[in-house]
A and B are shown apart, each in its own frame.
Chain A
Amino acid sequence: MSYLEVRNITKRFDRQTVLANVSADIEKGELVCVLGPSGCGKTTLLRIVAGLETADGGSVYINGRDCTSLSPGKRNFGIVFQSYALFPNMTVAGNILFGLRHKGKLGREEMRARVDEVLRMVDLSEHRNKYPRQLSGGQQQRAALARAIAPAPSYLLLDEPLSALDAKVRVRLRGEIRAIQRALGITTIMVTHDQEEALTMADKIIVMNNATVEQAGTPREVYDRPATPFVANFIGAMNFYPANEVVCAIRPERIEISNAPGSCNVAADIKGFEFKGAMTRIYGILPGQTEICVDISSDRADEIGLCERARLYLRIPEEHLIKYPPPAARVM
């Protein structure tokens, strides 16, 4: 049995179904990313696991215990919101202490030691007496994380924790959060709409769309073997084209390319191309007007000497080809 189990959760707001029969398993010590477009129900799922929202049906098991109707205070979790929700009238240390006071049993010295410890962990020791407004976005984020982990919760919930930050800070904090999570070995659920964040941080990704789970698996699994066209398209880029009553899908970077026919035996006309730094993306048209895009290294692009409307030859490796039944593709 998994450490945290979500079984057949259903949730409706007015007439809209936000979660339809959603199940998920989370192992102890794992960092699981719930990934999906906005409005797919991922945040509601997180709030139900927290007990901040009640499900209309289904159950939540924590450590084998049915916690479905348990109030948030009795579930022993820490939570970090996109807005951080730091109390602006308290210092960083004050914010952390505010939650610790109610742990009970901790003495004054122990509480102070615990505050020092978590502040060291998130590298905010010298900012302990500052108010949230005096901190940068990244520092506020870390302060919120420190506040969440200070009471030694048994699991951690992160609701789009990095969305409000600049791109650079976001990338750095990914690593920091992951390191702290590993060091503590704390079971963590993180909600995000950023596929790159999910791929780099997660042990397991749960991809959601339209109130249901599309796929759950390791980052490699969901990238290399996306279970549905939605997953294929949502994570990374994907080419779809019909062939022999199925829909074939191939990642742009898997396609090989050449100037002359040979092992590359599919002819394509170049419609345009984009220089993206290390990579260059080529937009081409296959016979039968199917559009296709190919990613190659920019060095390789120079070798070939791209120009618009020129003819190229592609090889689509069979081993990387993914096939979907056609009706599923129509949902796309």
Chain B
Amino acid sequence: MRPAQLALLLALLAGFTLIQIGPLFSLFSKAFLDADGSFAGLQNYADYFGSPSLSVSVRNTVDISFVTTLCSVLLGFAYAYALTRTNMRGKAFFRYTALIPIFLPTVVHALGLVYMFGKQGILTGLGVETELYGRFGIILSEIIYTFPQAFLMFVVALEVADGRLYEAADSMGVSAAGKFFGITLPDIRYTVVNVFFVCFTLAFTDFGAPKVLGGGYNVLATDIYKQIAGQFNMNMGAVVGTLLLLPAVLSFIAGRAVSSRNASTVNAKATRLVIRECAWRDAVFFVFCALVSACFLFLIAVLFMGALTEYYPYNMALTLRHFSFNASTGGIGSYFNSLWMSLLTAVFGTAFAFVYAYMMEKTDGFAALRRYGKLLAALPLALPGMVVGVSFIFFFNARSNPLHFIYGTVVILVLSNILHYFAVPFITATGSLKKLDREFESVSDSMRVSRLRLFLRVSAPLSLTAVLEIFMYYFVNSMVTVSAVVFLYGAKFKVASIAITHMEEAGDISQAAAMSLLILFINVAVRGAYALAAKCTERKIL
């Protein structure tokens, strides 16, 4: 490894250690200290579990996460199965509608439910009686939140299949159920485990839905917010923060354990799976997908209705007045703040993630350093947004920290987003770089082409699709994130997703709906632009 490469590697690792390990260290030290800063051992934990009002949230959180996960895994699998293993019509349409929730903050999923099932909700008006506020509402909202994640992971797993296995089974006269349980399910068993953990962790740590729909039903994510933003009890907040880490850490360990055995049975010799004609199967799955899609489209529809009518449900005259936002809850400025933050996150996050992945994948030597780097890159998978947010406060808000000045500015928000969403971009970049010929580096060395020039002229252009995908991913997620930024936004720099919660709290739910639509528009536009650009570059390169 040359000195320049080593210097870059060290700089990347140092930077990443600073924004990841530093804050985590602060979090854990706070959890084991008392308010005066002296060592408290497990006293904070004893206090937490000793107080019935607090420890009940642990039970509540596990409860809603479990139910949510069960529903999302089943729904997500069926939906993905319909798109990959049947001949039903409208697959492209269903694929996009399933992604709708991704483009909205979780508070907006909850807001949509308020429009449907709330006291003045459309469905309530039609006689549907529900107890929206509390367990039921939160679970419903979390299913909306986790469904697209489950669906996406299942699609990836189900898309690849070795047609030869199914043909062999056919030749032996195996029934459809036999093939499903003997070939299909075993092939995706690791994905099932992964999806389970991912959904559980997302529901376990989500802040948006319980914030809007929680009522008196306490969960960990709202507890930590109350402890820190309400009561300034930093040590108790840190305790809850470490509890929030638990499922993700467990899944992280489980993931590492199975990933070594997760050698796919599908290899280069696999033949494409030909899907059999079966009219009734296609019809059943079509109806199912249509119902799920209708729910998501209905969610968007009620937002439009709320945003565009004078005073729902009393005055249904059309108006655009809700798009002129009250300055007190954030105003249109919060929207521009969000755009600015997301753009910065996308630009710097993409550059960081891609260069980082390149250094891990395409350099050699200093194996120990790169092993450490890979571990650092995998850790964010286990970091919920709430934990990122809380640990960032502890770390950067400390008077002794020379980086204290970034507190309350856009910089800390961008850093927290880059860290919070790092895992997926890193995997995307690594996957794309792995596809490049391993000998490009050798050839350019023999021709005395510098590695930098090779990176700029060959590796980066060939990975353009991945770069665009990372950019899109960072942008969209930064637009909708609530959990990390709720602790970190400054009074002068409120972002749109936070503004929506404040509008909802203040009773301006029409404005909240209007703001949600603005977020939806920009995210759909960015996603569309990505799809277009990806198509163009694919055509150019392949």
Chain A residues engaging chain B, CB cutoff 8 angstroms: 47, 50-52, 71-73, 75, 77-79, 81, 83, 85, 87-90, 98-99, 101-103, 133, 147-148, 151, 153
Contacts and interface: CB of A to CB of B under 8 A. Distances in A.
B461 A89 contact: yes
Interface in B487-542: 540-542
Given A89-B462, A89-B541, A81 B442 contact: yes
A261 to B, nearest CB: 53
Contacts of B542: 133
Given A98-B457, A133-B542, A85 B446 contact: no
Interface of B: 437-440, 442-450, 457-458, 461-462, 540-542
A82 to B, nearest CB: 9
Q: Which of B437, B439, B462, B540 has the most CB of A within 10 A?
A: B439
* Chain B binding surface, main DSSP class: helix
Contacts of B446: 50, 52, 72-73, 75, 77-79, 148, 153
B41 to A, nearest CB: 44
A151 B448 CA distance: 10
Nearest to B457: A98
A85 B442 contact: yes
Q: Which of A50, A71, A72, A103 has the most CB of B within 10 A?
A: A72
Contact of B443 (A47, A79, A89, A101): A79
B442 A72 contact: yes
Contacts of A75: 446
28 contacts: A50-B442, A72-B445, A73-B446, A73-B447, A73-B448, A79-B442, A79-B446, A81-B437, A81-B439, A81-B443, A83-B437, A85-B437, A85-B442, A87-B457, A88-B541, A89-B461, A89-B541, A90-B458, A98-B449, A98-B457, A99-B444, A99-B448, A101-B449, A102-B450, A103-B448, A147-B443, A151-B447, A153-B446
Contacts of A133: 542
Contacts of A103: 448
A98 B445 contact: no
Contacts of A87: 440, 457-458, 462
A89 B540 CA distance: 8
Contacts of A81: 437, 439, 442-443
A289 B457 CA distance: 66
Given A52-B442, A101-B449, 4 more contacts: A73-B446, A73-B447, A81-B442, A88-B462
Nearest to B453: A102
B448 A83 contact: no
A64 B360 CA distance: 37
A99 B442 contact: no
A89 B458 contact: yes
A148 B443 CA distance: 9
Nearest to B447: A99
Contacts of A47: 442
A99 B462 contact: no
Contacts of B457: 87, 90, 98
B391 to A, nearest CB: 38
A47 to B, nearest CB: 8
A147 B462 CA distance: 20
Contacts of A83: 437-439
Nearest to B540: A89
A147 B437 CA distance: 16
A89 B455 CA distance: 13
B443 A73 contact: no
B241 to A, nearest CB: 41
B335 to A, nearest CB: 38
A81 B444 CA distance: 12
A85 B449 contact: no
Contacts of B449: 98-99, 101-102
Contact of A102 (B437, B442, B443, B447): B447
Nearest to A148: B446
Contacts of B442: 47, 50, 52, 72, 79, 81, 85
Nearest to B461: A89
Nearest to B445: A72
